[in-house]
Amino acid sequence: MRKCSLDKLDLVFAEIAKQAALYLPVDQTDGSAAYKKWEEGTVWSQKLNTVRSPKDFFFPQTEDLMRFKTQGKTIEVVDVRTESEDFVVFGVRACDVKSFDILDRVFLTEPMDSFYASRRQHGVIVSLACTRPSETCFCKTFGIDPANPAGDVAAWKTDTEIFFEANTEKGAALLEKLSALTEECDDTAVSAQKEKIAAVMDKLPLKDLSTDAFGGGKTAELFHSPEWDELSQSCLGCGTCTFVCPTCQCYDIKDFHTGNGVIRYRCWDSCMYSEFTKMAHGNNRLTQKERFRQRFMHKLVYYPENNDGLFSCVGCGRCLAKCPISMNIVKVMKKIGGNNK
């Protein structure tokens, strides 16, 4: 384990930026935080989390897949892929780190998504323990410990110092480059902070939220639950929950005629939209209830059934904070699962 004083942190950022593009949370004018590329003078945000998750670095909202040049009846396919830059994402919370495990199972299984795989190969995740978890946090429900945030490098911040511990070869290589700015230390301060975080987690309002009623093999039991009618009635189908979610992976592929050829691109989509997966024959989910049920059944039943019991939610609380009518996965779990604590 290594450490440095907080007044040297800008020097650490500058050293990282010499080796790779560095991104970290930065305060926005609307009071939120978002990941921005570091440059001299950039101030690291102290907010708990960003509105949009770091998923964007590996699975961006839009990206070109290929281009087509046409001349008469001749079509030339142009590969638009370029070598990804080396980059470091700093300050990723434990919930968001866990989201990469969920996305990896989607994009890195055969047939592997080469766009995503390239970014994962070139990206280094520096996580940060949550010293003050929010009342909307429920990561513990899914077995995530905010005091042990994983990542390539895990970090813990006190009032005066920041501590680093490498978890992977990529993380060890990064810390080696920072050896002149950091010093070897024991884990006394980090252990004390972990105890404080655990005490905070035990006081959060959602600490008793349980997944016992969900998981693989529950489709027949939960699919026809009458509670779906009531829960879905207030849903606007706006898709906000899916766009702030760090684990949602639905996308559409479209072609755009530029007047001088065609661009095929990928963009995020949402199972909450009435036109999601709509084809010539129509849509297989015609009602808001069906679309609403699909989202939460996928998170809590379908995904764990096909992924060794791993749920497709990390308890980050973004959907609780951003849903305009306060309908979220916690309410679904309490109503459908009978967990009313």
Token pair of 76, please? 């030339």
Q: What is the pLDDT along the chain (341 residues), one digit of tens a residue?
A: 999 999 999 999 999 999 999 999 999 999 999 999 999 999 999 999 999 999 999 999 999 999 999 888 888 999 988 877 899 999 999 999 999 999 999 999 999 999 999 999 999 999 999 988 999 999 999 999 999 999 999 999 999 999 999 999 999 999 999 999 999 999 999 999 999 999 999 999 999 999 999 999 999 999 999 999 999 999 998 999 999 999 999 999 999 998 888 999 999 999 888 888 776 666 677 788 999 999 999 999 999 999 999 999 999 999 999 999 999 999 999 999 875 44
Task: Give the Cβ contact number of residue 175 at 10 Å.
Answer: 18
Domain ranges of the chain: 2-201, 219-337
**pLDDT at site 279:** 67
- Name residue, tokens 């024959």: 281
The C-alpha atoms of residue 53 and residue 102 are separated, in whole angstroms, by 14
DSSP result, 28-58: -TTS-EEEEE--TT-----SS--SS-GGGGT
**pLDDT at site 280:** 65
Q: φ and ψ at 163, to 5 degrees? A: -115, 145
- For residue 42, give the H/E element and its range: none
**pLDDT at site 341:** 47
Instruction: Burial-class residue 217 by CB neighbours within 10 Å (0-12, 13-18, 19+).
Output: exposed
The C-alpha atoms of residue 268 and residue 253 are separated, in whole angstroms, by 9
- Name residue, tokens 């509670």: 227
**pLDDT at site 17:** 96
Three-state DSSP state, 323? coil
Token pair of 248, please? 């949602």
* Strands of 62-71's sheet in order across: 74-79, 62-71, 262-268, 251-257
Pick the closest to residue 317 from 326, 306, 305 (CA basis). Answer: 326
Residues in the chain: 341
